Amino acid sequence: GENVEQHPSTLSVQEGDSAVIKCTYSDSASNYFPWYKQELGKRPQLIIDIRSNVGEKKDQRIAVTLNKTAKHFSLHITETQPEDSAVYFCAASKGSGGSNYKLTFGKGTLLTVNP
């Protein structure tokens, strides 16, 4: 089955700096890669996602890049703010059909943005 590795497990940055979180996946059939932000005691919140037919996607301060050949994708947060502090999870799935909807999650990255 799919295996998703996520690094680093913790990341501490100064406010205004950029943060990058990287994930690798094992199954070349995976074609959908979402990123979730989870604040303490709250639900995972979808912040951005990318499909395998796209190399990069941006939404204001966050962006995701995908390298299908190398089977890795990354989350980039620019101009970080204290409210960006949370656990971030990457995930992968094969998209549609039966159990293909299943998301395989990375283990998460605790991002701390210091004021």
Nearer Cβ to another protein, position 10 or 28?
Answer: 10
Task: Please identify which residue in 34, 62, 75, 85 interacts with another protein, judged by CB under 8 A.
Answer: 34
Contacting residues for 49 by C-beta, under 8 A, at least 6 apart: 32, 33, 34, 35, 57, 64
Task: Please identify which residue in 13, 20, 22, 32 interacts with another protein, judged by CB under 8 A.
Answer: 32
Nearest approach, Cβ of 103 to another protein (angstroms)?
6
Alpha helices by DSSP H, listed for 3-104, are: none
Contact between 23 and 4 (Cβ < 8 Å): yes
Nearer Cβ to another protein, position 37 or 113?
Answer: 37
Name 103's bridge partners: none
Phi, psi of 26 (to 5 degrees): -105, -30
Contacting residues for 96 by C-beta, under 8 A, at least 6 apart: none
Nearest approach, Cβ of 16 to another protein (angstroms)?
28
The interface with another protein within residues 48-107 (CB under 8 A) comprises 49, 89, 93, 95-96, 98-99, 101-103, 105-107
Binding site for another protein (CB under 8 A): 32, 34, 36, 42-46, 49, 89, 93, 95-96, 98-99, 101-103, 105-108
